[in-house]
């Protein structure tokens, strides 16, 4: 008997229907010499430390780090899991061949192999069903092209390494920081500081961005502009931060004639958009409709299971050569229920450019595309996601958008000005997308009249006053982009180049990472923004090991997991590196005690802080540093230990002695960070949550 294991009951039913297997049994469908059964996503997980050794149930520093010599598995303790696993195990024991039909990716492979291992059937013959779509045609095609299951051993090795490395880093770091820094009261209660191999660097990125915004000092500036024939021209030089200099420049051109020094027109082609991978789809839906990454993934997964789109968890934006014959068929089907956008295309001569088809840039799965099936009775998030995927797919084959960019140079008393205008000559693919209302700054792209070189006339110069703006808070759109391109955040040029293709997490896990940080109250949503909470900022301040919150290290690990998938790196070598890292991290962190011989470093200039008669201040006060830390704030007296903790663990993002009362962190008598700027009722509410 052949046993087919799917990841979910709905997928198992689809497979059974296509294969005409109809006899429904408890936990499986049987017929024609086959049994189709299913998991509920993950059924099997890694054992807890106490299951290796009961003494490890108690969290203590002297038991860390704990790295099992060999990881053991157990069933997830969810309703119905044990019963379904027994069904699968019984079928596998009877099987002459087992077919893996879980999702075709790293996590799907892990789900299948863990079930196989716990059921004791790893030595059975296995084959792999690799599905990009759940349409009947795709399922039949995949069954005709079954692979030897062991061809995917490297994929399983990468999945297992990801699972075990997350366990090692997450468990040991969480226990270490919770035991050492988590006590919050005399009763022995603790703050649970949860730390992850991927989530902590993502949190660090958000904290760093929020601190940069908090510490940003707005600077005024003045720009010289002039209006000539109802067109605003901008001064071609740099804007001025000195109002007197700007005024001098204004006076130089006031009352002088304005002359058109040159008119240049250039045609610009805007290429059609590329197809979506999961991350670009999530970013687009967040930007346009405010959908979270998790909601977009869930909606796309539902569309996949409804056979309306192809496999969602892909990191490729390209199709492979073998997909070319299927594209016109899909577009023909879409034309039947959405004719207008498809009508301009010649389906017999589609432009398969390198931006669409490139075998070298397709890894496990091609880009997300519609299957051509008519979407009946879908709404909400699914409707938004389906329309975005389908519109992007159609637009990829439309002509380029052709624009005319006109640049007009002006001159007044030798002071140079410039204005730009854009005219759409042929909308091409852009006709498929609704027009976006843009806030245009005066002097940017405008509708321009006809100008002639050498023409002269009066003009109306003026100064526009503005202010520099801080960086923007992360949205899910921008955070997903930062996670995808983590290497670009690295300062070192050589390392940044090496990391430019690496990211934090994978397309399949990034949404879950964001949701985990939200659930643990390390970040919060404010409309479309993601901001760190006091808890999140304090956790990053407590973590002294820079690698644990480093995007470049996490990016390197992700790249090594990809190397394991490609069979270019041994899994054991990777895991030895993880074990060595966690041992070094805990050893070094344990050595980083507070230095009771000094108070700490100045948050402004980094020089040593010294104690004065009334307060603590920077030792570089003679050089002009004005940092002062009062030992009492609104009736709260800080102990010597608290002051050393604040200064040595860098919990203060900026000075306390500023007039606009910035965000101020101190340690309470129990060691919990508090934001003293909050009203007392809100602070009490926060403390209850902690």
Region 403-415 average pLDDT: 96
Is residue 663 scored above 60 in pLDDT?
A: no
Q: Give the C-alpha separation, 616 to 599, whole Å.
A: 9
Q: Give the C-alpha separation, 82 to 80, whole Å.
A: 6
Lowest mean pLDDT, pick from 318-322, 396-400, 550-554:
550-554
> What residues contact 271, with CB distance under 8 A and at least 6 apart?
355, 400
Question: What pLDDT score does 649 carry?
Answer: 67
Contact 677, 661 (CB under 8 A): yes
Helix spans in 215-292 (H):
243-253, 278-289
Instruction: Return mean pLDDT, the chain.
Output: 88
Q: Give the C-alpha separation, 278 to 123, whole Å.
A: 35
As a whole-number percent, the residues of the chain with pLDDT over 70 amount to: 88
Is residue 666 scored above 80 in pLDDT?
A: no
Peptide bond before residue 65 is cis, with ω within 30 degrees of 0: yes
3-state secondary structure 118-134: HCCCCCCCEEECCCCCC
Is residue 685 scored above 60 in pLDDT?
A: no
311 is catalytic: yes
Q: Describe the crossing of helices 106-118 and 153-181 by its angle, rounded to 10 degrees.
A: 90
Q: Note the CATH architecture for domain 278-395.
A: Orthogonal Bundle (1.10)
Confidence category of residue 642, pLDDT binned at 50, 70, 90: confident
Which one-letter DSSP state was computed for residue 229? T
Which one-letter DSSP state was computed for residue 185? S
- Residue 410's CB: how many other CB atoms inside 10 A? 24
Lowest mean pLDDT, pick from 18-22, 503-507, 531-535:
503-507
Question: What pLDDT score does 470 carry?
Answer: 94
The class of domain 167-215+472-591 in CATH terms is mainly alpha
Question: What pLDDT score does 444 carry?
Answer: 61
> What residues contact 385, with CB distance under 8 A and at least 6 apart?
281, 285, 291, 296, 299, 300, 303
* Run of H or E residues at 334: helix 326-337
**Residue 313 C-alpha from the chain's centroid:** 14
CATH number for 2-145: choose from 3.40.50.140, 3.40.50.1970, 3.40.50.300, 2.10.109.10: 3.40.50.140
Residue written as token pair 């958008």: 401
Confidence category of residue 591, pLDDT binned at 50, 70, 90: low
Q: Which residues of 299-336 are buried (b: 16+ CB within 10 A; e: fewer)?
A: bbbbbbebbbbbbbbbbbbbbbeebeebbbebbebbbe
Question: What pLDDT score does 400 carry?
Answer: 97
Confidence category of residue 487, pLDDT binned at 50, 70, 90: low
Residue 526 three-state SS = strand
Contact 313, 110 (CB under 8 A): no
Spatial CA neighbour of 553 closest among 584, 586, 578, 525: 578
Q: Give the C-alpha separation, 231 to 444, whole Å.
A: 10
3-state secondary structure 487-508: HHHCCCHHHHHHHCCCCCCCCC
> What residues contact 98, with CB distance under 8 A and at least 6 apart?
2, 3, 4, 5, 92, 116, 121, 124, 125, 126, 127, 149
Question: What pLDDT score does 23 carry?
Answer: 96
Supply φ then ψ for residue 535, to 5 degrees. Answer: -65, -45
Spatial CA neighbour of 643 closest among 571, 679, 579, 594: 594
Question: β-pairing, 126-128 with 97-101?
Answer: parallel
Q: Which residues of 162-171 are buried (b: 16+ CB within 10 A; e: fewer)?
A: bbbbbbbbbb
Supply φ then ψ for residue 610, to 5 degrees. Answer: -125, 160
160-216 tens-digit pLDDT: 999 999 999 999 999 999 988 876 444 445 688 999 999 999 999 999 999 999 889
Of residues 499 and 116, more confidence is placed in 116
**587's tokens:** 């050893």
As a whole-number percent, the residues of the chain with pLDDT over 90 amount to: 69
> What residues contact 448, with CB distance under 8 A and at least 6 apart?
231, 406, 408, 419, 421
Question: What pLDDT score does 187 carry?
Answer: 44
Model pTM score:
0.82
Confidence category of residue 639, pLDDT binned at 50, 70, 90: confident
Is residue 85 scored above 80 in pLDDT?
A: yes
Q: Among positive and negative, which fits the CA dihedral 519, 525, 530, 536? A: negative
**460's tokens:** 């109306």
Q: Among positive and negative, which fits the CA dihedral 525, 531, 534, 539? A: positive
Question: β-pairing, 73-75 with 44-46?
Answer: antiparallel
Question: What pLDDT score does 490 carry?
Answer: 54
Question: What pLDDT score does 220 carry?
Answer: 96
Region 483-502 average pLDDT: 61
Residue written as token pair 């192809």: 310
Q: Exactly one of 114, 176, 177, 311 is catalytic; which is it? A: 311
277-331 tens-digit pLDDT: 999 999 999 999 999 999 999 999 999 999 999 999 999 999 999 899 999 999 9
Contact 443, 232 (CB under 8 A): yes
End-to-end CA distance of the chain: 54
- Residue 72's CB: how many other CB atoms inside 10 A? 12
Lowest mean pLDDT, pick from 66-70, 191-195, 253-257, 649-653:
649-653
Residue 143 β-bridge partners: none
Q: Give the C-alpha separation, 432 to 173, whole Å.
A: 50
Domain boundaries, the chain: 2-145, 167-215+472-591, 220-270+401-467, 278-395, 609-689
Region 86-94 average pLDDT: 97
Topology agreement, domain 2-145 and domain 167-215+472-591: no
Computed over its alpha carbons, how large is the radius of gyration of the chain?
31
Residue 474 β-bridge partners: 530
Lowest mean pLDDT, pick from 120-134, 235-249, 547-561:
547-561
Is residue 423 scored above 60 in pLDDT?
A: yes
CATH number for 220-270+401-467: choose from 2.40.50.140, 3.40.50.2000, 2.70.20.10, 1.10.645.10: 2.70.20.10
Q: Give the C-alpha separation, 475 to 471, whole Å.
A: 12
Angle subtended at Cα 313 by Cα 308 and Cα 319, rounded to the nearest 5 degrees: 70
C-alpha distances (whole Å) from 311 to each of 330, 443, 508 are: 15, 45, 11
Q: Give the C-alpha separation, 109 to 131, whole Å.
A: 12
């Amino acid at each position: 008997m052949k046993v087919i294991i799917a990841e979910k009951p709905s997928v198992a039913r689809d497979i059974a229907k296509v294969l005409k297997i109809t006899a429904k049994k408890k936990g499986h469908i049987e017929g024609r010499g086959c049994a189709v059964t299913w998991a509920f996503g993950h059924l099997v997980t890694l054992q807890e430390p106490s299951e290796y050794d009961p003494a490890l149930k108690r969290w203590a520093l002297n038991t860390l780090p704990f790295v099992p010599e060999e990881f053991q598995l157990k069933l997830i303790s969810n309703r119905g899991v044990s019963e379904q696993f027994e069904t699968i195990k019984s079928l596998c024991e009877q099987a002459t061949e087992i077919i893996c039909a879980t999702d075709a990716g790293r996590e799907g492979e892990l789900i299948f192999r863990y079930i196989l291992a716990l059921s004791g059937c790893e030595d059975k013959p296995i084959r792999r069903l690799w599905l990009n779509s759940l349409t009947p045609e795709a399922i039949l095609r995949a069954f005709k092209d079954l692979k030897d299951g062991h061809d995917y051993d490297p994929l399983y090795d990468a999945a297992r390494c990801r699972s075990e490395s997350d366990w090692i880093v997450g468990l040991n770091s969480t226990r270490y920081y919770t035991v050492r820094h988590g006590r919050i009261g005399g009763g022995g209660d603790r703050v649970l500081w949860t730390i992850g191999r991927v989530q902590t660097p993502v949190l660090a990125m958000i904290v760093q961005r929020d601190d940069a915004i908090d510490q940003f000092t707005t600077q005024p500036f003045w720009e010289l502009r002039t209006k000539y024939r109802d067109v605003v021209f901008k001064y071609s030089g740099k804007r001025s931060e000195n109002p007197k200099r700007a005024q001098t420049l204004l006076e130089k051109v006031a009352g002088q004639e304005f002359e058109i020094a040159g008119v240049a027109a250039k045609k610009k082609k805007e290429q059609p958009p590329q197809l979506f991978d999961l991350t670009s789809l999530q970013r687009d839906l967040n930007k346009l409709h405010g959908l979270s990454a998790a909601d977009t993934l869930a909606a796309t997964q539902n569309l996949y299971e409804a056979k309306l789109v192809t496999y969602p968890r892909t990191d490729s934006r390209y199709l492979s050569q073998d997909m070319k014959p299927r594209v016109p068929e899909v577009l023909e089907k879409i034309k039947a229920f959405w004719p207008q956008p498809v009508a301009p295309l010649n389906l017999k001569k589609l432009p398969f450019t390198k931006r669409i088809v490139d075998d070298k840039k397709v890894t496990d799965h091609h880009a997300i595309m519609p299957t051509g099936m008519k979407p009946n009775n879908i709404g909400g998030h699914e409707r938004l996601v389906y329309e975005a995927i389908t519109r992007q797919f159609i637009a990829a084959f439309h002509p380029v958008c052709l624009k005319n960019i006109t640049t007009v140079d002006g001159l007044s008393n030798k002071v140079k000005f410039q204005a730009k205008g854009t005219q759409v000559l042929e909308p091409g693919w852009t006709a498929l997308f609704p027009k976006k209302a843009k806030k245009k700054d005066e002097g940017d792209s405008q509708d321009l009249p006809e100008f002639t070189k050498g023409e002269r006339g009066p003009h109306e110069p003026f100064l526009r006053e503005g202010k520099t703006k801080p960086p923007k808070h992360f949205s899910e759109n921008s955070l997903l982009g930062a996670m995808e391109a983590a290497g670009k955040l690295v300062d070192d040029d050589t390392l940044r180049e090496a990391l430019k293709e690496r990211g934090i997490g994978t397309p399949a896990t990034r949404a879950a990472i964001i949701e985990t940080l939200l659930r643990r109250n390390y970040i919060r949503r404010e409309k479309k923004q993601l901001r760190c909470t006091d808890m999140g900022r304090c956790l990053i301040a407590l973590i002294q090991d820079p690698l644990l919150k480093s995007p470049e290290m996490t990016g390197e690990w992700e790249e090594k997991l990809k190397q394991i998938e490609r069979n270019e790196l041994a899994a054991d070598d990777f895991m030895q590196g993880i074990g060595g890292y966690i041992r070094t991290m805990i050893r070094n962190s344990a050595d980083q005690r507070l230095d009771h011989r000094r108070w700490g470093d100045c948050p402004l200039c980094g020089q040593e802080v010294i104690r004065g008669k009334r307060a603590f201040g920077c030792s570089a006060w003679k050089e002009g540093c004005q940092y002062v830390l009062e030992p009492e704030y609104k009736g709260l007296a800080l102990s010597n230990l608290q002051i050393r903790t604040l200064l040595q663990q860098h919990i203060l993002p900026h000075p306390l002695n500023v007039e606009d009362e910035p965000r101020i962190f101190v340690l309470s008598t129990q060691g919990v960070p508090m934001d003293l700027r909050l009203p007392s009722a809100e602070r009490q509410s926060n403390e209850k949550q902690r």
